[in-house]
Chains A and B, each alone.
Chain A
């Protein structure tokens, strides 16, 4: 998840980027609205913009208006930061399309809480597919602890039914399952939901190799036994990146 922080005050900029990076977010920095537009125009993938309002050259309101008027950027949620805790500024920010606002000085806890709320809103759920209930629960609890939404399915058939109805950011599926296996789920998923990344998990490394998963169109491959950190690195790599096909096609090395 990549966040563009726009702030002309270097100290506040450092505070915001450091706090976000400590939480595992990738950050880009811009010192004005104009600078932010330039970064976006260079085709950088940005999932969330956190911008100050009062800046020279192009202020936060102008940046917000610019983004919301451009079909390439209108989907990017914008959180505006203001030292002006007046109702008019807040109303203007929300009317122009800001998803939320922060009153300065930026506090680490507030910034993280607001950003995580937006992440939850913009990201779909992580769909875990495994016929073993213990593994479903283990993976589900691990990912929920990161503040992300999880939906569990006990079979590939159930997973596909869920994908028809729910907003899914990533599928994490076991390969060996009764009925449709993970590779069959991958094939149907790529046909019906090509923008949703699918990562397959298996302990049967002899039967299903990493190459067979990737050549079948899988976006990643994780071998059992896996480490918690390995799962979360993979999840973070994919959530919120669905708008940019280049990221969806990133292969997971394992």
Chain B
């Protein structure tokens, strides 16, 4: 089962104005990893939503400082966590950022960071809708 939600632009911080964005939360994938434990998926999603702002901040700082290692490690953390909670789009984007950092191509990574932020905002909305939780 894939959960998708259309999100008004206002929830994306104005990124790509005028366009509705979608993101994906593959709950079946997360359920498969946890052995079908819906409560645990909910907890993991909560942990991800709590932790990703710091990871993204570290990623942004790494890009600002042109610190390739920091970009690479923070992107890898986001990738790993996103994979565990079935956040496929976020996982894909974080993987691309990690690859761009490894290729010393930080300008591309900057563009991907914006996409990542939008996908994270969508993930919040989708999971909030599914679990009925407001982000703390």
* A residues neighboring B (CB under 8 Å): 8-12, 14-15, 18-19, 54, 56, 83, 104-109
Contact = CB atoms under 8 A, between A and B. Distances in A.
A106 B33 contact: yes
Contacts of B81: 9-12
Q: What DSSP secondary structure best describes chain B's contact surface?
A: helix
B22 interface: no
Contacts of A106: 33, 84
A104 B83 contact: yes
Nearest to B51: A10
B102 to A, nearest CB: 12
A19 B44 CA distance: 12
Nearest to B35: A108
B85 A11 contact: yes
B2 interface: no
Contacts, number: 51
Contacts of B85: 11
B35 A109 contact: yes
Interface string B74-91: 001100110111000000
A83 B80 contact: yes
B67 to A, nearest CB: 12
B24 interface: no
Contacts of A10: 47, 51, 81
B43 A18 contact: yes
Given A18-B40, A54-B76, A56-B73, A11 B84 contact: yes
Nearest to A7: B80
Nearest to A14: B47
B111 to A, nearest CB: 24
B40 to A, nearest CB: 6
Given A11-B81, A108-B37, 16 more contacts: A8-B77, A10-B51, A10-B81, A11-B47, A15-B33, A15-B34, A15-B44, A15-B84, A18-B40, A19-B40, A56-B73, A104-B80, A104-B83, A105-B83, A106-B84, A107-B35
A14 to B, nearest CB: 5
B57 interface: no
B37 to A, nearest CB: 7
B25 to A, nearest CB: 14
B80 A11 contact: yes
B48 interface: yes
Contacts of A9: 77, 80-81, 84
Nearest to A112: B35
Given A12-B80, A83-B80, A19 B51 contact: no
A106 B51 CA distance: 18
Contacts of B76: 54
B37 A14 contact: no
Interface in B37-57: 37, 40, 43-44, 47-48, 51
Contacts of B84: 9, 11-12, 15, 105-106
Contacts of B51: 10-11
A11 B48 contact: yes
Nearest to A104: B80
A50 to B, nearest CB: 15
